[in-house]
Structures are given as C-alpha cells and as structure tokens.
Structure 1
Amino acid sequence: MKLRQILAAGLLLIVVTVILYPTTATGTVNLSARYEQAVIEAEPPVGRLVFKGITNLYVSFSEVRIHSANEENQTGWLPISFGTPSLDIVDLKNESGTILVTPTVPVGEYNGVMLAFSNVTAVFNGTTAQVESVPAYVVVAHHFAVRSGSETNLKLKFTVDYRALNSSSRVFFEVKPLLD
C-alpha cells in the first residue's frame, strides 16, 4: 500500500506540473501609445508649421508581433495579436492609451515590436476621412523581458506628421519606445 501511495503522489505531482506549467511559462505584455504632433521646420519667414484642426486620429493594427532577442531578424517574430480595436491616439480618453494587453506571451528576452497599420481615420476641421499610413508597418527596436506571471509595460510614442493630409490623404508615423 505504501508503494502505491508513493506512485500515486508522484503521478499527481507530474499531472499538476503539466497542467500548471503554461501559467508559469507566460507573462503579460501591455502595449500602450502616447501621441505627439511632428514639428515641421520651414524656411523663414514661415518658421514652424503646426497643423490645427486635427481633433482625432483613430488607429488600429492588423497585426502586432514581438521579436525574440535570440533569433535573427528574418525569423523569431512572434505574433501576439491579429487585430486591435481602434484607438484615438490624439484624444486619449482611455488615459492609459492601451493598444492591447496580451496575457499569454512566452517568457523570454525580446528586442523589437512590429505594428502593421490596418485602419487610420483622421478627423480634421470636422471632416472624417480614411487616410493612408506611411509606412504601412513599423518596427520598433526596444529590448524588454517577459517574466513568468508578471506584466511588462511597453510604451510607444507615435509622432505624427500631417503635411500630406490635404494633398494625398496620407499621415506619416514615426514610432519610438518611451523609456520610464
């Protein structure tokens, strides 16, 4: 009977380990946005150009990937989202600016984030217009670690250039990590 109890306890321990392993081998990634309008320097006497009348810029992404630090650039891209809700990055009523929260990211070291724009809509001077994002996707070099059972906060600054908004319905994005 004693041997049987020991084997049952060992088997139970193995089953519990197999069941709980995925929860200990993942962490959460919280990706958020901050907005800044690009400052355009023009020749004197014009000086700095500031585009007014842009009240909203709704952005969504068709895909978000992170890059494993141990892999080469062409490989190692792990998809963490295939579509995000639209986020107004100009008027962040959602004060955190959350793009997405993914609770099941494998534990590890990462060195990049890739965002593929899917839909960008601008509201300027009361008119809503679908605009093209340039570039169509961005790769942000940023080293971060995902730890077991913990949350990793990634903050990205979206600097937006509206120079081509009226002439060609384009908005230019520069995205960089915000370091705390």
Structure 2
Amino acid sequence: MADPLDLQMVSLGLRRMGWIRFWIQTILGVVVVGVLLFNNIGSSLARNSERALGLGPGLSLTSLAFLFLLYSLWQGWLIVRLGRALNSNVRPSRGETSRLLKRGVIVDLLGLVFSSIGYQSLAGSLFVQASMQAPGISIGAGRSALDNYPITSLEMLSVLSNTQVLFAHLVGLIFSLWLLQRIYRTG
C-alpha cells in the first residue's frame, strides 16, 4: 500500500503536468490548424499554385502528425482525469497509469516520426525551389521574373505548421516521460 501523502503528490503532479501538457498542445494545435487552413486557402488563390506541388507530401505528413496530436490531446485529458482518480477512493493501479502514459509516449513518438519526415519533405522541396532561382535580383514583370519562382510566405507557413506540430509532440513526449519517471521513482 502506498503512502497517502505520496499518492496525493503523484495525483497533484499528474493533474498539473496533464493540464500543462494539454494546454500547450492545444495552443500549438490551434496554430497548426490555422496555418494549414490558411495555407490551403492561400495556395488555392495564388497565381502559381501549381509550382508548389512538391509541398504536397510534406503537408500530408504534417496533417497526419496533426491527427496524432489530436489523439495525444485526448491522452493528456485522460492523464488529468487519472490524476483526479488517484485522489479518490477508486484508485487506478500503477499498471493502468503506466499503460496510459506509455500509450502517450508511443503516440507522440509516431507524431514526431511523421512530422520529421514531413519536415524533410518540405525542406527538400523548398531547397529544390531555391536552387532553381536565378542569381541576383530580377526587376520587372517580364517573363523572366515568373521563371525565377521565389519562395513565398505561404510556403514558409507550411514549414511553420510542421514545426509547430513537431514541437507539440516533443512537449507531449517530455511530459509523458517525466510522469513515467515520477510514477516509478522509488524512495
């Protein structure tokens, strides 16, 4: 049987860290959704949207990582509920608690993998686009100015959305690992 004071400390830690994790990931998720929507709307309105086709796989992987982020948000909410349950008469076992946290670690690791691959895809596409630019500054609105294909702010926003989802999964992973360490700390 665990010490009641120790259970209260673990319960308080789970609730606090669960809330902090939940709100940080929620804020970053809202930024990701906003940027992805803005990128979708903006790229459909852009004149040269067909040249940004190389960004498609990176944005798809970013969207997939965002879906993992939604699941991670749900896991964060479950951590808060678990912290509340530890302070009640019906306590979950250490095994149930660790399974929940390990599931969060796996989801955040998968999100990190997909967002990292998406980041590489986006960066590679933008590198190819940047390497095709003519050296110097193109002044004028002639045909040669259209062939230069400068990197636009919409394309940089796609990298920003990927970076935000990558950071959100990193935050979730750090908090989950810290909570696992806290649960299994002895003495």
TM-score higher than 0.5 here?
no
Q: Which has the higher strand share?
A: 1
What is the TM-score normalised by the length of structure 2? 0.28
Q: Which has the higher helix share?
A: 2
What is the TM-score normalised by the length of structure 1? 0.29
